[in-house]
Structure 1
Amino acid sequence: MEAAMQNTHTTASSNKRFKIIPIMAALLISGFIGMFSETALNVALNDLMQVLHIAPSTAQWLTTGYLLTLGILVPVSGLLLQWFSTRQLFITALIFSIAGCLIAALAPNFELLLLARVVQAIGTGIMLPLMFNTILVIFPAEKRGAAMGIIGLVIMFAPAVGPTIAGLLIENLSWHWIFWLSLPFLVLALVCGILFMQNVSTITKPKIDLLSIILSTIGFGGIVFGFSSAGEGGGWTSPKVIASLIIGAAALILFGWRQMRMKKPMINLRAFKYPMFTVGVIMVFICMMIILSSMLVLPLFLQGGFGKSAFYAGLIMLPGGIVNGLMSPVMGRLFDKYGPKWLVFPGFLVAAAALWFFSGVTAASAAFLIIVLHSCLMIGISMVMMPAQTNGLNQLPRQFYPDGTAIMNTLQQVAGAIGTAVAVSMMTAGQERYAESHPGGNVVDSLTAGVSHAFMFGMIIALVGFVIGLFMKRVPIKHE
């Protein structure tokens, strides 16, 4: 891969030489630490509730606030990529990430920790679209699969080691050390970016439409907030949830209508005219729903059903996360050679089969079985995620790259909110049904029934993805 990177110094449209290795190093370190601090903190929520004396619904805002900020900021990223240089955005993103990490490391109470999460999310919201846009520009289409695979290796490895390292830190030190550990790596990425990051995108400075920004903020923010609130335990019939979803949907409809009427929209939704991009977006959306819902449900089951610690839950999930990370570059190379179709089909089937077996797991099941099923699920997801994403973005003309990355990254955040909310709702419904049919039943059996419902939901979603995958075709590579 390194040799491929070193040989790839020109884009299709420009003879400008790019320092591929340093640019990728800066992006990968930033992406890894961003994902690590996010997933590691999720494992620490139980500890935070005790230390900070807060209720579960309050603690959940550390995740909800993060997702909400991303849902608001990422749609604007397409505009930012056209207004500011790559170096400016990279350095700004790292400054926000470092500031958020430092505030969190020093936070004495919940309010400051929540502020830190919002500041961190601003950095991540700028960095994610910048990362994918940079890959699209500095790598030719025939080598993007391998490049995306390396991105996948690093980004998916972070959620794998995050829970385990967090469990160790919590048991031996404190939750503050999750952020103290991240801080030097972020500073290293910033120094690397200052020294080596190059300006790869074209600055066009399109007109800023304030109404589009307002509609986007209300729309995506309302949808993410509504689904996250339902997942917190408020339920789907809560007035707050219903109002948020209605207002968010109405704002999104108006936003879409306005973008299609503008000559220079904030996000060019005409990217959806390219069918493989649309199919790729849907598949990435489904994969994110499956990943984030399973990452929420499985630790709950391991800790509640098996009665194990956060560290134990992290260890059980570690092999699957590592396998997913290691499979990403392999899938990237297979995509470059054979295209997406013969990866996506079996990928969704493997994921669906793993989720179906998961629905039958009980507290008496062997830990080895959980590890194998989780690893199979991660293999299936890795066969779909990177090929679908790369194939979809490959179909877009160069001028659509900022819009395509903004759309894909925005909908990933929305998918995360929807996936976790629906999974929690399905789990709660399963627990309630069990309680009604088994009066006086124990808590573990009730949780097992609820988790089974959540995994069945994931299996259905995976099968829907398989059907949509029937329409996937390899995008012919065009040398611009």
Structure 2
Amino acid sequence: MEQHFNEQLYAKRTKIIAAFLVAAFIGLFNETALNMAFVELSRDFDAPTSTIQWLTTGYLLTLGVLVPISSLFMQRFTTRQLFITSLLFSISGTIIAALSPTFAVLLIGRVVQAIGTAIILPLMTQVVLMVYPISKRGAAMGKIGLVIVFAPAIGPTVAGFILADLTWHFIFWICVPFLLIALALGVKFIENVSETRPVKFHIPSIVLSTIAFGGIVYGFSISGELGTFFNMEVILAVGIGALALIMFSVMQLKMAQPMLNLRVFQYPMYVFGLIIVMAVMLVILSTMVMLPIYLQNILLLTPVFAGLVLLPGGVINAFMSVVAGNLFDKFGPRVMVPGGLALAVAALFVLRTIDANTSPYLIVAMHIVLFVGISLVMMPASTNGLNQLPPSLYPDGSAVMNTLQQVAGAVGTAIAVTIMSITMANNSNDPLAAVNGVQNAITFGLVLAIIAFVVSLFLKNVRKEQQQ
């Protein structure tokens, strides 16, 4: 695979990747930053929290619908065209959201933001695969891992500081300068890293993909609002989405030029890596919803102090993501991924016992352990899986992984909220109902982490196999 490596692009790789990292960081930061502002938004728009939740759900739903189509975009349009387009959407959506006078306008702004993020995420992964040789990808993917995990983790903390003195509008305004910097870097440095070809947009595939991922994410999202998994609307939405997903998969396997080449699932290390990454995203986003709720509603901390509790884990995760990338280049995934998941399991096992008397310092410590573990898992598992694919499948492998990663995050958030809601509804007379709800939601994450740990025991180092 080294022969596909372009020496000219290699020399410019740092400048090329820098623009992507800034843009993707802001996009993923926006996934969770508004979580701290739900109380203020509910008051400003005179709407219940279940309605305000759609600002996050709508964002993730847009990602789930559009990321699968990104493989087509990456084959039909140049890297520069897609990068600039994604930044224009992100900047426009952020300004619309910052200026929004009503909830409906704010929701539209969030959707426009998400369109930009849906383009940039798989494109960034493909560019790294094209401009770095296999022996150097670990460090590069470590930087991507930093963005994918650190940005959502730091979102509530930054938002907490903003809300201490300013309104929720400034959560968006603070993003605009960084997006403009990313756009300037991209215009100056980004080059086209792959050849385009006249791929046709297969409308039935796009329709089925939209119904499939949109239906599944929507169904689980409204389950959190309704407080049950067994409502007919939830069952219909998830059922229709699952049926559309099956039809979409069959259609892609029969097409000579599929919208999304599902033959990536023929590669076992890719499949194992995908399962692990999805489970970890479920854990990350469900935890990042539960802990702010717990810290503010149960420990009665202000948004600023709640953000401070979550800050050390996010900062240490940023550092460890880069370290993990360098370790992966030397040692591969076989020790790192199971070891990281063991740390995550241990942290979640302790966090599932938190109550109204738990010390915030214990939350800080376990949050650090959790995110150190996650930093040792995300990049090695995904990079090792993508390394097994031939270059012709990079766009599809990247699109599939980013799609299911975002869908998993959206579904994980919804399931965690639903578990908490069901627990509280069934124990409405119990003063500890909210505590039990958070504990049960974190237990859900613990089960997922254990499943991922078992899968990680079957990983093999793709690079070593290819060098032998």
TM-score grouping bracket, smaller chain normalisation: over 0.9
Q: Is the 8 A contact 1:71 1:414 kept in 2?
A: yes
Corresponding residue number in structure 2 for 1:390 = 383
Equivalent positions of 1:158-173 (< 5 A) are 158-173=151-166
Going from structure 1 to structure 2, the CA distance change for 1:11 and 1:134 (only over 3 Å counts) comes to: farther
Corresponding residue number in structure 2 for 1:241 = 234
Q: Is the 8 A contact 2:227 2:418 kept in 1?
A: no
User: Aligned partners of 1:429 and 1:102: how far apart in 2?
Assistant: 37
Corresponding residue number in structure 2 for 1:153 = 146
Secondary structure (helix, strand or coil) at the match of 2:312 reads helix
Q: Does 1:452 align with 2:439?
A: yes
Note the C-alpha offset of 1:361: 1.2
User: Which residue identity is paired with 2:329?
Assistant: D
User: Aligned partners of 1:229 and 1:405: how far apart in 2?
Assistant: 28
Q: Does 1:301 align with 2:294?
A: yes
Note the C-alpha offset of 1:408: 0.3
Corresponding residue to 1:122 among 74, 94, 115: 115
Corresponding residue number in structure 1 for 2:458 = 471
Going from structure 1 to structure 2, the CA distance change for 1:11 and 1:186 (only over 3 Å counts) comes to: farther
User: Aligned partners of 1:55 and 1:428: how far apart in 2?
Assistant: 14
Note the C-alpha offset of 1:159: 2.8
Q: Does 1:346 align with 2:344?
A: no
Secondary structure (helix, strand or coil) at the match of 2:462 reads coil
Note the C-alpha offset of 1:299: 0.8
Corresponding residue number in structure 2 for 1:77 = 70
Q: Is the 8 A contact 1:11 1:139 kept in 2?
A: no
- In terms of mean alpha carbon deviation, does 91-100 or 13-22 score higher? 13-22
Going from structure 1 to structure 2, the CA distance change for 1:208 and 1:159 (only over 3 Å counts) comes to: closer
Corresponding residue number in structure 2 for 1:6 = none
Corresponding residue number in structure 1 for 2:313 = 320
User: Which residue identity is paired with 2:124?
Assistant: M
Unaligned runs of 5+ in 2: none
Going from structure 1 to structure 2, the CA distance change for 1:161 and 1:421 (only over 3 Å counts) comes to: closer
Per-residue CA deviation, residues 137-175 of structure 1 (Å, 9 max, x unaligned), is: 000111111001122224433334322221222221211
Corresponding residue number in structure 1 for 2:194 = 201
Q: Does 1:17 align with 2:14?
A: no
Q: What value does the CA root-mean-square deviation take over the aligned residues?
A: 1.5
Note the C-alpha offset of 1:208: 2.3
Corresponding residue to 1:461 among 442, 448, 465: 448
Q: Is the 8 A contact 1:129 1:406 kept in 2?
A: yes
Corresponding residue number in structure 1 for 2:88 = 95
- In terms of mean alpha carbon deviation, does 304-313 or 137-146 score higher? 304-313
- In terms of mean alpha carbon deviation, does 164-173 or 452-461 score higher? 164-173
Q: Is the 8 A contact 2:227 2:421 kept in 1?
A: no
Going from structure 1 to structure 2, the CA distance change for 1:161 and 1:469 (only over 3 Å counts) comes to: closer
User: Which residue identity is paired with 1:463?
Assistant: I
Tell me the TM-score normalised to structure 1 length: 0.94
Q: Is the 8 A contact 2:134 2:463 kept in 1?
A: no
Corresponding residue to 1:225 among 210, 218, 221: 218
User: Which residue identity is paired with 1:352?
Assistant: V
Corresponding residue number in structure 2 for 1:43 = 36
Corresponding residue number in structure 2 for 1:5 = none
Tell me the TM-score normalised to structure 2 length: 0.96
Corresponding residue number in structure 1 for 2:181 = 188
User: Aligned partners of 1:370 and 1:13: how far apart in 2?
Assistant: 45
Corresponding residue number in structure 2 for 1:28 = 21
Note the C-alpha offset of 1:434: 4.1
Note the C-alpha offset of 1:296: 0.7
Note the C-alpha offset of 1:13: 4.3
Corresponding residue number in structure 1 for 2:270 = 277
Corresponding residue number in structure 2 for 1:378 = 371
- In terms of mean alpha carbon deviation, does 295-304 or 91-100 score higher? 295-304
Corresponding residue number in structure 2 for 1:429 = 422
Note the C-alpha offset of 1:15: 4.4
Corresponding residue number in structure 2 for 1:86 = 79
Per-residue CA deviation, residues 392-441 of structure 1 (Å, 9 max, x unaligned), is: 00000000000001000000111012211221222233334544xxx4x3
Note the C-alpha offset of 1:195: 1.0
